[in-house]
């Protein structure tokens, strides 16, 4: 599963990043935020500072302002002029066989996180892609809200290296997305017995792919889907 498209080969969360990743996989992880004019945009950070030539909080900028920024130059000259896509644009321009893991951020006030979910769920329904996505978050409360609003949407619980099961099982997720360093064969076996799919993040080294494959994971999130595919084909 390509992380932010393929952030090892192209500027993360841009349309070209997903298009390049699609040469190697139809499975993608992405991040989304609400911009100041109310649209969902594909970006990881709360500000545009790190990945564009602009500055400011995503929530304070309109879609037009955000898409006027250069989101490719920070990566290399080859990608100068790439822009931040809206979530709608990304879904409409990618092939219909693509599957998306949409990470909903756990930062910010609770009401803002709920507002993001309330914008996302109708968009998925409008574009008729509810069966090609799952919603992931570190925030169990938010995943519970997603379930309330659309029980048919698959939900993935993101886990860092330390957690308590009672803290995340309340959201009744369908998938578990742990930090790859925390994965053991025994734990994966137990999660499978409990009915969970397990897709760790973000593993970029062959030694980790070997370990995860031997542990029995159901997928791997990586910055380099090209290299992971080559390993799996060996």
Beta strands in the chain (DSSP E): 2-3, 27-34, 40-42, 99-104, 133-137, 154-159, 175-178, 197-198
Mean pLDDT of the chain: 95
pLDDT tens-digit series, residues 18-58: 999 999 999 999 999 999 999 999 999 999 999 999 999 99
pLDDT tens-digit series, residues 119-139: 999 999 999 999 999 999 999
Question: Could you list the residue range(s) of the whole structural domain that residue 62 is in?
Answer: 1-97
Catalytic residue among 3, 105, 113, 155: 3
Indicate if the pLDDT at residue 140 is higher than 80.
yes
Catalytic residue among 36, 44, 57, 67: 44
215 CB neighbour count, 10 Å cutoff: 17
CB of 12 closer than 8 Å to CB of 44: yes
In a domain, 142, yes or no: no
| CATH number of the domain enclosing 26 | 3.20.20.190
* Entry pTM: 0.96
Closest to 212 in 3D by CA, of 1, 45, 57, 65:
1
In a domain, 84, yes or no: yes
In a domain, 86, yes or no: yes
Beta strands in 11-97 (DSSP E): 27-34, 40-42
In a domain, 31, yes or no: yes
Average pLDDT over residues 103-109: 81
In a domain, 163, yes or no: no
**44 given a catalytic annotation:** yes
Q: 155 - beta bridge partners?
A: 135
pLDDT at 162: 62
pLDDT at 112: 86
pLDDT tens-digit series, residues 209-229: 999 999 999 999 999 999 999
Count of the separate structural domains present in the chain = 1
In a domain, 4, yes or no: yes
Indicate if the pLDDT at residue 170 is higher than 90.
no
In a domain, 118, yes or no: no
Q: 177 - beta bridge partners?
A: 158
Indicate if the pLDDT at residue 115 is higher than 80.
yes
**180 given a catalytic annotation:** no
CB of 177 closer than 8 Å to CB of 221: yes
Indicate if the pLDDT at residue 12 is higher than 70.
yes
CB of 108 closer than 8 Å to CB of 126: no
Measured between its terminal Cα atoms, the distance across the chain in Å is 18
pLDDT at 110: 82
């Amino acid at each position: 599963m390509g992380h932010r498209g393929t952030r090892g080969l192209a500027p993360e969360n841009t349309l070209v990043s997903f298009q390049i990743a699609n040469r190697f996989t139809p499975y993608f992880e992405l991040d989304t935020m609400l911009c100041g004019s109310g649209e969902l945009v594909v970006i990881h950070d709360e500000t545009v500072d790190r990945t564009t030539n602009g500055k400011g909080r995503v929530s304070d900028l309109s879609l037009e302002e955000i898409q006027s920024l250069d989101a490719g130059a920070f990566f290399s000259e080859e990608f100068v002029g790439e822009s931040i896509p809206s979530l709608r644009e990304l879904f409409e321009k990618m092939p219909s066989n693509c599957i998306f893991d949409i990470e909903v951020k756990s930062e910010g006030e609770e009401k803002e996180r709920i507002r993001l979910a309330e914008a996302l769920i109708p968009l998925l329904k409008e574009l008729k892609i509810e069966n090609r996505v799952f919603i992931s978050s570190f925030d169990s409360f938010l995943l519970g809200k997603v379930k309330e609003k659309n029980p048919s949407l698959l939900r993935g619980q993101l886990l860092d290296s330390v957690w308590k099961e009672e803290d995340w099982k309340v959201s009744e997720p369908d998938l578990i997305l742990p930090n790859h360093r925390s994965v053991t064969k025994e734990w994966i076996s137990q999660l499978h017995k409990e009915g969970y799919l397990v897709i760790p993040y973000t593993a970029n080294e062959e030694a980790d792919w070997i370990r995860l494959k031997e542990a029995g994971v159901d997928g791997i999130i990586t910055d380099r889907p090209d290299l992971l595919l080559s390993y799996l084909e060996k």
